[in-house]
Amino acid sequence: MTENPRARETRPATAPAQGKVRATGTQVRPDSLSANGSQGAGAQTQVRPKTEGWTQQKDAEGRPLLQFASPKRGKPPVHLADLTPAERVEKVKELGLPGYRAKQLSTHYFTHYTSNPADMTDLPAGIRDDLVGGMLPSLLTEVRRLETDRGDTIKFLWRLHDGALVESVLMRYPGRITLCVSSQAGCGMNCPFCATGQAGLTRNMSTAEIIEQIVRANRLIAEGGLGGKKADDHSMERVSNIVFMGMGEPLANYKRVMDAVRVMVAAQPDGLGMSARGITVSTVGLVPAINKLADEGIPVTFALSLHAPDDHLRNELIPVNSRWKVDEALDAAYGYYAKTGRRVSIEYALIKDMNDHAWRADLLAEKLNARGRGWVHVNPIPLNPTPGSIWTSSDKDVQNEFVRRLNDAGIPTTLRDTRGKEIDGACGQLVATTEDEAAAAAIG
Ligand code: SAH
């Protein structure tokens, strides 16, 4: 193997993070790691910090613990947003009411963001309760609302019908309002640096439970509850962008998530009338589901949570890498671009002394450029702290160097702004705490 000039690059070992992560010398790209990340003959152990206090959870056969199937729990009640427009008409008829009432109800829900019979003055008072009871059952009970950034970031804690807790985070940015939604209560992917992953999967969320997060956020915005609006701005505002970056692995709940996307993009009053381009589906890399997504014909933005360009490290950071390797995930991401023409995002949480080495930036750039130009951009994000975690975010100069190397290699790369850390509302921090459980119990 020819010597890679960068392979010998070193930087000083840094002090142990919180005294728990021990840096074991210089950070070098192991000679045994070829450009495609596979271990060559005579592989030597990769030199990087040892982690203490965390061991990957394994199943009975010694494979990393992954939960794909949703544990059986009582299903949430069927809601208008779970149904197609034709099914809504059928259901209204089953309630003994004329089919056209479905459209009226959809208008209340998707354009006025209300499920309150008292608001529905165009419907005869005598049928409102039956219609709402049958079509708009209550799905999310608000347990808590936390605000930061002077009120333009809000985290909601919701209780589902069976007591499961989920969160969504609403953020105002210049020119857009983004809602980070949950797609599962908990998550089965078990990524060690993510608080949600550590808690395991409670269950899949229904389509309507996903949609209701948006409707409730829109209601709050319409009531003027989201800070940061300019005094002279009288526009009717609502959520413009959705990121599936709350709790859960969206592609492990494929059907309900895609049905929810269809409701988001359907024209009002049948749906929320949102632009597919403003919807980002983020995944750990479930390859068959990525391929399926590429065939849907809905131009959502696709994001792959890569976090390491080599299998050796990614096997640890993203346990599902034991099934679908870095190159397979990247091929699928490239396939998404090739099919849809939509530039894909690579997410990369920068973890101090873990995945932030210069040679890893170079290897990532190599792998992305090997597949083509202009198809991808990289979004590194400094790791957000999670309870009891042994890891911390990379130092500023290391972050900047990582970004610089990718940009120099022709890969558009921007360090992502992270919001909501103060309220544990940032990426990877969403988890129901004992405090949340107590608050949920207290509201009865
Ligand atoms: N399961 C999906 C979506 C949820 S997480 C996925 O993994 O893509 C959304 C993003 O936050 C992912 O890129 C995830 O890797 C990242 N993330 C998780 N924990 C984080 C942390 N502690 N700091 C920064 N980003 C984190």
Tens of pLDDT, residue by residue over 183-205, are 999 999 999 898 887 778 999 99
Flag whether 123 is in a domain: no
The DSSP output letter for 22 is B
The answer to whether 307 is annotated as binding is: yes
Q: How many domains does the chain have?
A: 2
Q: How far is the CA of 179 from the centre of ligand 1 (A)?
A: 15
The answer to whether 422 is annotated as binding is: no
- 313 near 46, Cβ under 8 Å? yes
Q: How far is the CA of 305 from the centre of ligand 1 (A)?
A: 7
- 395 near 442, Cβ under 8 Å? no
The answer to whether 305 is annotated as binding is: yes
Rounded Cα distance between 379 and 368, Å, is: 13
Which tokens hold the place of 241? 């962008």
Q: What is the CATH number of the domain that holds 274?
A: 3.20.20.70
Shared-domain flag, residues 235 and 372: yes
How many CA atoms lie within 13 Å of 17's alpha carbon, on the beta-carbon side?
A: 20
Flag whether 109 is in a domain: no
Q: Inter-axis angle of helices 254-265 and 207-222, to 10 degrees?
A: 40
Nearest-atom index, ligand 1, CA of 389: 22
Shared-domain flag, residues 298 and 175: yes
Shared-domain flag, residues 39 and 147: no
Flag whether 311 is in a domain: yes
Q: Is the Cβ atom of 193 under 6 angstroms away from ligand 1?
A: yes
Flag whether 83 is in a domain: no
Nearest-atom index, ligand 1, CA of 303: 8
Q: How far is the CA of 428 from the centre of ligand 1 (A)?
A: 5
Q: How far is the CA of 16 from the centre of ligand 1 (A)?
A: 24
Nearest-atom index, ligand 1, CA of 391: 22
Nearest CA to ligand 1 atom 12: 305
Q: Is the Cβ atom of 333 under 6 angstroms away from ligand 1?
A: no
Shared-domain flag, residues 146 and 40: no
Residues 6+ apart with CB under 8 A from 133: none
- The pair phi, psi for residue 13, each rounded to 5°, is -65, 140
The answer to whether 234 is annotated as binding is: no
Q: Is the Cβ atom of 355 under 6 angstroms away from ligand 1?
A: no
Flag whether 407 is in a domain: yes
Mean pLDDT per block of 10 residues along the chain (444 residues) reads: 34 32 40 40 36 60 80 88 98 96 98 97 95 97 90 94 95 94 95 86 96 98 89 84 97 98 98 98 98 97 98 95 97 98 97 96 98 98 85 95 98 87 75 81 78
Q: What is the pLDDT of residue 230?
A: 80
Residues 6+ apart with CB under 8 A from 366: 35, 409
Q: How far is the CA of 245 from the centre of ligand 1 (A)?
A: 7
Instruction: Give me the residues paired with residue 144 across strands.
Output: 157
Nearest-atom index, ligand 1, CA of 249: 1
Rounded Cα distance between 131 and 125, Å, is: 10
Q: Is the Cβ atom of 283 under 6 angstroms away from ligand 1?
A: yes
- 335 near 287, Cβ under 8 Å? no
Q: What is the pLDDT of residue 148?
A: 87
Shared-domain flag, residues 240 and 345: yes
Q: Specify the pTM.
A: 0.87
Longest dimension (CA), the chain: 81
Flag whether 64 is in a domain: no
The answer to whether 180 is annotated as binding is: no
Q: Is the Cβ atom of 382 under 6 angstroms away from ligand 1?
A: no
Residues 6+ apart with CB under 8 A from 151: 226, 227, 228
Flag whether 77 is in a domain: no
Q: What is the pLDDT of residue 131?
A: 95
**Strand order through the sheet with 344-350:** 141-148, 153-159, 165-173, 176-180, 241-244, 279-283, 301-305, 344-350, 376-382
Shared-domain flag, residues 152 and 34: no
Catalytic positions, please?
167, 427
Q: Is the Cβ atom of 427 under 6 angstroms away from ligand 1?
A: yes
First-last CA distance in the chain: 66
* Helix or strand run (H / E) with residue 403: helix 396-408
Flag whether 133 is in a domain: no
Rounded Cα distance between 354 and 317, Å, is: 10
Whether the upstream peptide bond of residue 71 has omega within 30° of 0, thus cis, is no
Q: Which domain does 22 fall in, by range?
A: 8-46
Rounded Cα distance between 9 and 184, Å, is: 42
Q: Is the Cβ atom of 384 under 6 angstroms away from ligand 1?
A: yes
Top mutation candidate among 68, 171, 191, 245 for ligand 1, by most atoms within 8 Å of CB: 245
Q: How far is the CA of 280 from the centre of ligand 1 (A)?
A: 13
The answer to whether 306 is annotated as binding is: yes
